[in-house]
Amino acid sequence: MSTSTTLAIFCKVVDNYGDIGICWRLARQLVREHGVQVTLWVDDLHSFARICPGVDAAAASQRTEGVVVRHWAGQEGTFAPADVADVVIEFFAVDIPPGYVEAMAQCERKPVWLNLEGLSAEEWVEGCHTLPSMHPRLPLTKHFYFPGFTDKTGGLLRERDLLDARTRFQADPAAVSAFLSGLGITATEQAARKVSLFCYRHAPVSALFECWRAGAAEVACFVPEGVASGSVEAFLGGAAKAGAVATRGALTVRVLPFVPQPDYDRLLWACDVNFVRGEDSFVRAQWAARPFVWHIYPQDDNLHHKKLRAFLQRYCPDIASLADLSLWWNGAGVNDNMEEEGWAELWTAFQRDRDVLLSRARDWENRMLEIGDLAENLLRFARSLR
Ligand code: TRH
């Protein structure tokens, strides 16, 4: 495929920021690193604007960082074959507008149609990755494409210059300090054990706060506005607005503004421990090369616990402190009513293993690098189908 390849991504914001976070990252990377002409169709521009302030939430069409962003306002509309991109990606099995699909079928040279799926460490993913699925009525074939952690999957999203930028940043204490100060983080907080905290509402945040408050080491915990608000407000004794801060015992909790995606990366790079969630922040924590704890997106019948275990089995089958803390954090511990001392033990063990965790992060990074990055792998696969 030449550099004039056109590609459309259809993204529905089901919940939170991960859907648009991932699609935006992919779109930007395809433009910047591969010269692809990308149109990103997204139904919720307000969520998009939170992670990318350059986006105008009222515009039907706009160009941002080289990506054409179209507001996907509904399923209506007629399209001509000339409107159809060479490669069409539906994210998380969204229903592309029927008129667009009809136009795809009318194209003389059929577009490549991919369903980009969610990230999972489960083994079945390898068997489904790149499988074709024929349209029941139209002369079109869709292929499943899975991100993942093995060379039988598409790998993880990673910008070409990401790891160099991270390494430079982490090796430059003045840059780290300037960045943190820019977020209002004081010198005292910077000298403490710095923890970023991004999780879902049901995480046992208050129990962890209590463990840190009563602990011997100073902990500074940074929480984005709108996250774990109940526990944060209980700790602060007031509204969890950006800039709010309180110290009790050994713990300082500070509410941060929701920052643009590149700054969120820097926050992860700057912290000693990152609590992350969902899919995109989870992957970014892996590229931060710092110990992290994952809060997985909840699913019915605790299906997510199976997914969590599958990841832990790949990432840290031999590091009990991380596996245990992760399971408890996700409500998958041995019993749900752990006493305070239980959390203290988990946290202490996790801290004691810090060197092991740092070295695991490096080894893991090298393993992931061998797979190549998702954008490049996906493009290569699409090219093989054209
Ligand atoms: O927001 P999420 O909970 O999104 C989730 C997951 O993607 C999940 O798999 C999906 O099924 C569900 O949405 C519908 O968590 P995630 O994936 O980490 O996405 C958060 C995005 O927000 C990520 O791109 C990073 C970005 N972000 C910022 O840009 N600035 C911030 O300050 C923070 C905290 C996050």
Distant-in-sequence, close-in-space partners of 299: CB < 8 Å, separation ≥ 6: 307
Average the pLDDT over 23-30 and give the result: 98
C-beta of residue 253 within 8 angstroms of C-beta of residue 229: no
Residue-wise pLDDT tens digits, 90-127: 999 999 999 999 999 999 999 999 999 999 999 999 99
Specify the higher pLDDT residue, 21 or 339: 21
- Whole-number Å distance between alpha carbons of 135 and 142: 7
Among all chains, which residue has been given the structure tokens 């009563």?
214
Residue-wise pLDDT tens digits, 308-350: 999 999 999 999 999 999 999 999 987 656 776 799 999 999 9
Of 159, 279, 280, 324, which one is the catalytic site residue?
279
Our answer on whether the CB atom of 222 is closer than 6 Å to any ligand 1 atom is no
- Residue 386's pLDDT is 86
Phi, psi of 82 (to 5 degrees): -65, -20
Structural domain boundaries in the chain: 6-157, 162-369
Residue-wise pLDDT tens digits, 232-252: 999 999 999 999 999 999 999
Counting ligand 1 atoms within 8 A of each CB, the residue from 116, 281, 296 with the most, and so the one to mutate, is 281
Tell me the DSSP string of 17-59.
Answer: THHHHHHHHHHHHHHHHH--EEEEEES-HHHHHHH-TTS-TT-
Alpha-carbon separation of residue 182 from 148, 223, 276 (angstroms): 35, 15, 22
Residue nearest to atom 25 of ligand 1 (CA): 281
With a threshold of 0.95, does the pTM exceed it? Answer: yes
- Whole-number Å distance between alpha carbons of 276 and 296: 8
Residue nearest to atom 13 of ligand 1 (CA): 18
> Which CATH topology does 162-369 take?
Rossmann fold (3.40.50)
Residue 28 binned pLDDT confidence (cut-offs 50, 70, 90): very high
Our answer on whether the CB atom of 18 is closer than 6 Å to any ligand 1 atom is yes
- Residue 87's pLDDT is 98
Structure tokens at 59: 């515009």
Residue-wise pLDDT tens digits, 200-212: 999 999 999 999 9
Alpha-carbon separation of residue 144 from 32, 147, 340 (angstroms): 24, 10, 45
